[in-house]
Amino acid sequence: MKTNTSIRFLILGLTLTAPLAVHAQGPLSPPPFGSLPASDEALDSTGAPKISMKTLTQTDPGQPIPSLDPGAIDLNGSGPAYTITTPGHYFLTQDLVGDKPIVIDVEGVTIDLRGFEMRYVPGGAGAPPVAITSGASGIDLGRITVKNGRIVGGWTEGVHLGGQSLVRDLQVAGIETFGIYVGGTSRVADCQVKGPQVDPEPGGPVTPGPHSGIWAGSCSVITGSTAHGILGKGIETDTGSTIENCTACGNVGCGIVGGKGNTVRGSTARHNGSTGIDFGDGCSIADCVASDNMTEGFKVRTGTTVQNSVARCNGLDGFLAESVTGADGEQGVETAVNFLQCSASRNIGDGFRTGINTLFSHCTADHNGRDDGAPIDPDGPLMPPAPDGDGYDVADGSKLENCVATHNFKHGVTGLRTNMIANCTVQSNAGFGVAVLTPENVVVRNYIRDNVVGPINLAGGSIAPFELPSVGTNPHANYDF
């Protein structure tokens, strides 16, 4: 028994002393200076600890604005502007308050405002400059990025850059002309531009300026951005660009505007002083809303497709498809626009108005037009186009299929000749359900009921007769019961 106890104490002693032997290996004092690589030395040659904190410039390989170097005249604020002459990365370290802009005289520059603000306060005798510009020499230099901050006050423009540029996470407010201007093949992302607070009273309405809150050249992309209270147009692109998930509200001019060949998705234009969404020929517009604008909700041109979009409570037509004006100034006739699954409601003009060769599929026109007291003459010729208030106002060679026209102030559908109206519901309009110029139109398989003046203003030709659906035998008959 005693032997076993002795063995246990011996094992316990060895167990407790083994870690002490391990930890006791080697001296506790630091190695002498020069025995380690220079990068691993903790002490300097005198034995004092080295400074390990890095400066802002060391952690961010860029140039601060304003520079603390008294010799950096271009960047320390001693001159009339902060002038960048070397490509690279620059960043603000404080708010810039005054009238000194940032002028970029070279391509390949990134400016990070780092959440700071460039606030214009008049100081010099000259006109307000552009807050950040690469076009001071008359040539808009490109390949420039400006991001992450605010530009406010009475600058002439907010940001003005050349092509292949990027502006993102920027707030621009109080600028009377362009808030953000970039050349072609550029991108504007997640920016907010707000115009000056201008009350048009008592001097009358403000005339829209030729500028835009956000303007981008051809083949550019604008995403996730807003324009509000601009004294011109809200958001504008040239040709071949994309606008996605943007909003333009309360601008003096049009809301969202562009040339030909653009794509617009998921965007909203509301309460603008002219058209809500206005684009040239050959565009694609989808999932957009235009409401409460002073003139048309949507204005589009030849070869455009508008899909899953809504026009509501606009001052003129909900959707207007225009033909393109030629280089010689002659207005064309053909529009050739597609409207797919669109809705026009409570617009003061027509719900949809277009020229020739237009397709309507699964669209709705409801409560369009304004009761101005003008009587509808049931004995008159009722020749379209009506001044306002039709659900659909089309010219020649168009097709309406699976559409709805209801409770419009004048006719449900009005057209000239060689149109096809099929499988539609046309109900409770104040004029005719369908008013067409000649029997050359094809009007078949429609449900036309309770229109105040009558179902159809003409009979015969390609206008199918009316039958009760329960007893009818004509597969092309229209229904009214």
Report the C-alpha dihedral over residues 144, 150, 154, 156, rounded to 10 degrees: 10
Our CA angle for 106, 109, 110, nearest 5°, is: 160
Token pair of 439, please? 């029997």
Q: Where are the alpha helices (DSSP H) in 41-134?
A: 56-59
The reported pLDDT for the residue numbered 470 is: 65
Token pair of 106, please? 């070279």
Token pair of 86, please? 């070397």
How many Cβ atoms are within 10 Å of 105's Cβ, its own excluded? Answer: 16
Distance CA 429, CA 111 (A): 59
Distance CA 224, CA 34 (A): 57
Distance CA 215, CA 95 (A): 26
Q: Are 436 and 392 in contact (CB under 8 A)?
A: no
Amino acid in the structure at residue 42: A
The reported pLDDT for the residue numbered 64 is: 96
Distance CA 62, CA 303 (A): 49
The reported pLDDT for the residue numbered 135 is: 84
* Chain segment 295-332, per-residue pLDDT in tens: 999 999 999 999 999 999 999 999 999 876 555 555 55
Long-range contacts of 413-419 (CB under 8 A, 24+ apart): 414/384, 414/385, 414/386, 414/390, 415/384, 415/441, 416/384, 417/441, 419/394
Distance CA 454, CA 438 (A): 16
How many Cβ atoms are within 10 Å of 102's Cβ, its own excluded? Answer: 26
Which of 157, 161, 124 lies closest to 144 in space, CA to CA?
161
Token match 């001052």: residue? 315
Q: Where are the alpha helices (DSSP H) in 341-443?
A: none
The reported pLDDT for the residue numbered 47 is: 72
In the predicted model, residues of the chain with pLDDT beneath 50 are 1, 21-22, 199-204, 372-386
Side-chain-side CA neighbours of 253 within 13 Å: the count stands at: 21
Assign residue 14 a region (left: φ > 0; alpha: ψ between -120 and 50; beta: otherwise).
alpha
Classify domain 280-481 at the CATH topology level: Pectate Lyase C-like (2.160.20)
Query: Measuring CA to CA, how many Å separate 166 from each of 191, 287, 326?
Result: 11, 26, 34
Token pair of 312, please? 């509501």
**For residue 123, which phi and psi values (nearest 5 degrees)?**
-145, -45
